[in-house]
Amino acid sequence: MYICLMKIHKEGTTIIIITLLIVLSLHLLNEYLFNKLNIYILYIILLFLELFIFILVLQFFRVPKRIVYPKENEIRCPADGKVVVIEEVLEEEFFHDKRIQISIFMSPLNVHANYHPISGIIQYVKYHKGKYLVAWHPKSSTENERTTIVTKHQNGKSILFRQIAGAVARRICFYVKDQQEVSSATEFGFIKFGSRIDVFLPLDTKVNVKIGDKVKGKIDVLATF
C-alpha cells in the first residue's frame, strides 16, 4: 500500500523555465502570424503544439510523492521502467565476482528520479565519463556515462547499482557520498531523459521480477535477501 501525490523535480527548474520562454515566444509569433491574419487552422495547430511541448517537459520532470514502508529484507526498485535484463554476470568494477544483474530501462516517458534500493552505508561512489550508446546496448553498462554506487546492508551484504546515461541523456545527477548512511526508498539521484539502471545482487538473492515486467521505483520489490 502506498500514497501517491506529485511534484516537479528540482533538476527540471532551468529546463522548464527555458521551455516556457520558448513556448511563449512561439505563442506570440502564432498570435501575430496566424490569429491576426485569421488563419485559424494553423493557429490552432500551433497552439496545440505549444501545449504539447510544455506538457511533455513537465511530465518528464514529474516526481510522484510515494509514501512506502520498506521491510529490512526487501530490495526496492531504484527506478520506474521495464526490466530488460536478469542474468548472472561477472561484476568487474567493485566486487570482481559473479552477481545477479537486473537492468531497468527508463524511456523518456518514465519518472526519472532514482531511489535507494536498500538501507545501509555507502561503501563506494564513482562517476565515469563515457559514451552515449542507446541504453539497451549490452556495452552501455561499461562504456556509457555512468555513476556506480555500492551500499552495504546491516546484514553484511552489499549491492551495487549503476545509473547509465542513454543516447538522449547527457547528465546524471546523484546526491550521495562515501560512508553516508542512507535509507531504502529515499531519492539518491536523477537521470535526464532516456536511460537505464543496473543492479548487481548477491547470488543467493531471491529475485521477485521477470524480464518484461514494468516496475515502479520505491514501490515494487525487486528482490529479497
Q: Would you please indicate which residues are annotated as catalytic (active-site) residues?
A: 195
Ramachandran angles phi, psi of 10, nearest 5°: -60, -30
DSSP state of 34: I
Name the 3-class secondary structure at 93: coil
Nearest to 128 by CA among 164, 78, 166: 164
CA angle 158, 63, 193 (to 5 degrees): 80
Exposed, middle or buried: residue 145 (CB in 10 Å: 0-12, 13-18, 19+)? buried
